[in-house]
């Protein structure tokens, strides 16, 4: 017959289970708070492993993440007396061993005796001297995707075995860990994007510093120019280079490619044009020498189209040399003429290329337009190009200033392409004789 004293001395199993559950939930809350407070991925992985080893009272633990390029598991961290040796054996194929099997199935597994499991690979033990006993292994899932595997191990000599109740706690830990790893990776991507954005902004400011800050001012000429890069930085360039005796060099070109490499090439080219033309400003000689300089530098597959003009402001003469670029447009009395067609290949392809030049006498009211293919080749959603014909019609009908024309041109192109993306840099330069 039981007594009241017997009842007090015999704990209720349900109460013990409840207390254990409360302790587990409290532990998980602390773990989640600790893990989610760390955004540095390396520190986070170290924290996860230390917490897992302590909470699960394990002798060893390891964490592997999926390399999406090779579809392999890569050891990130391993804690045990032979942890560093394990890390040097860095990769497992998905489906290989216990961890690879869990990564493939997406299901956790409890193993009482690793040596009795067909998927266990004893090579690690042989190389490290560790004796694996019981294993508890769980996938790391974030946003419905397996990103890795975490496992805790009891050494065989200790005689301890993981239980289903251990798995419940371990799964909660792994869920928190996976989400924290995902967040840390996203934070890393965000920081890298911000760094790249700052670098691009700096590159943009450097590139803009090479372009003219204003157009030439002259009593008998009005100048205007504009450029819009398809990316933050681009490869189109233009410049005004003043010479003695009221002569002005005008250069406009288009470097192959886009982005930072094209921008760096552009910056170097603008220096080349300025330096070389100060020695001899004859357009055909300038193109020949800049071409040779570019060929000597031999950038990988990079070249540039270019137009170099020498404008005699006093005598109203324009000398043009063209290296693989689009022809210029001359507007005279509401008619349009193409002038300065290409006399040689783009610069940077063939060394010692000899370029020719042509001379044009200008009159009051004449207007010249120089542009890159980014002006004529933009496409709308119907895959139609803006085109040279449309550009000529606009140029012919325009009666305002050069600056107004370029603004109208920019707006017309934007309206034409609509929501279609801008794939190429857009640069144009024009001047008019009063």
**Confidence (pLDDT) at 7:** 47
Average pLDDT of the residues in 96-102: 93
Distance CA 221, CA 210 (A): 23
Please check the confidence at residue 82 and state whether its pLDDT lies above 60. Answer: no
Average pLDDT of the residues in 191-220: 79
Residues paired with 329 in a beta bridge = 338, 369
Distance CA 287, CA 79 (A): 65
Under a CB-based contact definition with an 8 Å cutoff, are residues 175 and 183 in contact?
no
Range with the poorest average pLDDT among 129-143, 291-305, 357-371: 291-305
Range with the poorest average pLDDT among 69-78, 213-222, 226-235: 226-235
Average pLDDT of the residues in 147-169: 90
Distance CA 408, CA 415 (A): 10
Name the percent of the chain lying above pLDDT 70. 86
In degrees and rounded to multiples of 5, residue 365 shows phi and psi of 95, -15
Identify the DSSP state of 49.
Answer: H
Please check the confidence at residue 21 and state whether its pLDDT lies above 80. Answer: no
Average pLDDT of the residues in 208-220: 88
Highest mean pLDDT of the ranges 34-48, 220-234, 308-322: 308-322
Closest residue by Cα to residue 392 from 321, 331, 311 = 331
**Confidence (pLDDT) at 319:** 98
**Element (H or E) spanning 173, and its range?**
helix 164-210
> DSSP assignment of 264-301, as one string?
HHHHHHHHHHHHHHHH---HHHHHHHHHHHHHHHT-TT
- Domains of the chain from N-terminus onward: 14-188 (3.30.450.40), 207-433 (3.60.40.10)
Distance CA 58, CA 167 (A): 13
Q: How far is CA 415 from CA 42, 166, 240, 373, in A?
A: 49, 65, 30, 18
Long-range contacts of 185-188 (CB under 8 A, 24+ apart): 185/41, 187/39, 188/41
């Amino acid at each position: 017959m039981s007594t009241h004293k017997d009842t007090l001395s015999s704990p209720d199993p349900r109460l013990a289970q409840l207390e254990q559950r409360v302790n587990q939930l409290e532990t998980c809350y602390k773990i989640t708070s600790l893990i989610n407070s760390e955004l540095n991925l390396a520190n986070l992985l170290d924290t996860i492993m230390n917490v897992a080893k302590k909470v699960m009272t394990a002798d060893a633990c390891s964490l592997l993440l999926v390399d999406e390029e090779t579809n392999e598991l890569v050891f990130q961290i391993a804690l045990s007396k032979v942890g560093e040796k394990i890390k040097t054996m860095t990769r497992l194929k998905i489906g290989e061993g216990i961890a690879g099997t869990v990564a493939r199935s997406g299901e956790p597994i409890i193993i009482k005796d690793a040596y009795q499991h067909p998927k266990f690979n004893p090579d690690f033990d042989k190389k490290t001297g560790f004796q694996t006993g019981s294993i508890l292994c769980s996938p790391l899932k974030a946003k419905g995707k397996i990103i890795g595997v975490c496992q805790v191990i009891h050494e065989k000599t200790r005689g301890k075995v993981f239980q289903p109740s251990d798995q419940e706690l371990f799964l909660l830990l792994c869920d928190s860990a996976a989400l924290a790893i995902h967040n840390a990776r996203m934070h890393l991507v965000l920081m890298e994007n911000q760094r790249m954005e700052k670098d691009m902004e700096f590159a943009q400011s450097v590139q803009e510093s090479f372009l003219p800050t204003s157009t030439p001012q002259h009593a008998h000429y009005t100048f205007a120019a504009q450029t819009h890069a398809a990316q933050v930085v681009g490869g189109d360039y233009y410049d005004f280079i003043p010479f003695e005796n009221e002569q002005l060099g005008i250069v406009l070109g288009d470097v192959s490619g886009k982005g930072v490499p094209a921008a760096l090439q552009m910056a170097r080219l603008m220096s080349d044009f300025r330096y070389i033309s100060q020695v001899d400003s004859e357009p055909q000689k300038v193109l020949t020498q800049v071409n040779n300089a570019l060929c000597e530098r031999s950038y990988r597959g990079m070249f540039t189209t270019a137009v170099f003009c020498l404008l005699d402001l006093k005598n109203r003469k324009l000398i043009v040399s063209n290296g693989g670029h689009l022809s210029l447009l001359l507007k005279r009395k509401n008619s349009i003429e193409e002038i300065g067609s290409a006399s040689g290949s783009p610069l940077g392809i063939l060394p010692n290329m000899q370029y020719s030049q042509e001379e044009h006498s200008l009159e009051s009211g004449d207007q010249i337009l120089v542009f890159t293919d980014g002006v004529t080749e933009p496409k709308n959603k119907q895959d139609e190009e803006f085109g040279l014909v449309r550009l000529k019609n606009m140029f012919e009908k325009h009666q305002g200033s050069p600056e107004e024309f370029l603004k109208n041109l920019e707006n017309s192109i934007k309206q034409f392409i609509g929501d279609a993306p801008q794939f190429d840099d857009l640069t144009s330069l024009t001047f008019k004789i009063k």
